Amino acid sequence: GIPQRIQADFKAYDGEAIFGLGQQQPGRLDLKGCVIDLIQRTPRVTIPCSLSRRVYGFLGQNPAIGRVEWGANWARWLAEGSTQRTYWSTAGGPPAEILGLSATATGRALLLPKWAAGFWQSKLRYRSQVELLAVAHEYKRRDLPLDIIVIDAGHWTLMGDWRFDPQQWPDPAGMLRELDRMGIKVMVSVWPTVNALSRNYPAMQESGLLVRTERGAPTPTPLFDIRPAGPIGLYLYDATHPAARKFLWDQLRAGYYRYGVKLFWLDADEPEIKPIHPDNLHYYLGHGAAVHNIYPLLHARAFYDGLRSEGDDEIITLNRSAWAGRQRYGSAVRLGDGESTLDA
């Protein structure tokens, strides 16, 4: 159907404190009296699940762009473009019970592996295999704990190739073996963006595995890549398309997993678009205004399904964004890119 603006109104109560909705930043723990935009954008994460002091939990199950208005006289949930509005609610128990029922409805979290609670080392950025191994060896020389080391953005040939640059990372398998002997696991940063110069772009374009735009430029976001110089228009793979998720994992298996990489940092998975106009996007699941907020959940699913298909059961990804149910895919959420200021 054609997305329509949908509004649901509820009675408001004096003294009702409301918490949740993911990682919002209104500067208040109690969201009563706030207007919260329901849209994914760094450094905010939208998870439409809330908990009231009146001992009920509320989950807006629709991934549409919208907002919540918790006024003194009225409460309102708005979807700017949707074909339906669905809610789930539970009431009566203490907060722990309500949160448990919410987890049952959206999916139980995977057990966190013991090693994941250790020390993670990351910086912007390790530029070569030589540099990364030197850092790992220095940790060991000083007898400092190091459980996971993260290879950040820019280690690739091009966005959308999803593989190491062989000039700077000539022996990934040997590097992984050496780090494994030191008891160190490797996490690799993976972006959902695709450069038109990527070796995978033609096949993805032909098979309809990329997010389309409704108007204007066909690329929804300008970012920097290895080449060409300067900000360029980049495409997004369509995480709402099952075939696109399978295609992505096939590339990840060939570019990383076969060398021993089993941990992935899902950066820019809101997804990052500039300017933020989800209504200009068209996904496999439908119009961007109606489905955009679910992108990080299904992106995490691509990695979960891929790793499970290989027989792995200790699955954890580090994500910059999320949506309701992300915990069942082993998704750990980090706060998006923030500013290093005295106020922050």
Catalytic residue, from 80, 238, 270, 272: name it: 270
Catalytic residue, from 267, 313, 339, 343: name it: 267
Element spanning 31, H or E = none
Told to judge if 267 belongs to the known catalytic residues of this protein, a careful annotator would answer: yes
CA–chain centroid gap for 269, Å, is 4
Q: Locate all alpha helices (DSSP H) within 207-330, ordered by sequence.
A: 242-255, 288-291, 295-309
Q: Tell me the C-alpha distance between 195 and 227, whole Å.
A: 9
Report yes or no: 276 and 320 within 8 Å, Cβ to Cβ. no
Report yes or no: 330 and 302 within 8 Å, Cβ to Cβ. no
- Strand-pair partners of 89: 58
Told to judge if 337 belongs to the known catalytic residues of this protein, a careful annotator would answer: yes
Handedness of CA 241, 248, 222, 325 (dihedral sign): positive
Report yes or no: 269 and 299 within 8 Å, Cβ to Cβ. yes
If you ran DSSP here, which 8-state letter would residue 186 be given?
E
> Tokens 């004096």 label which residue?
14
Active site residues: 267, 270, 337
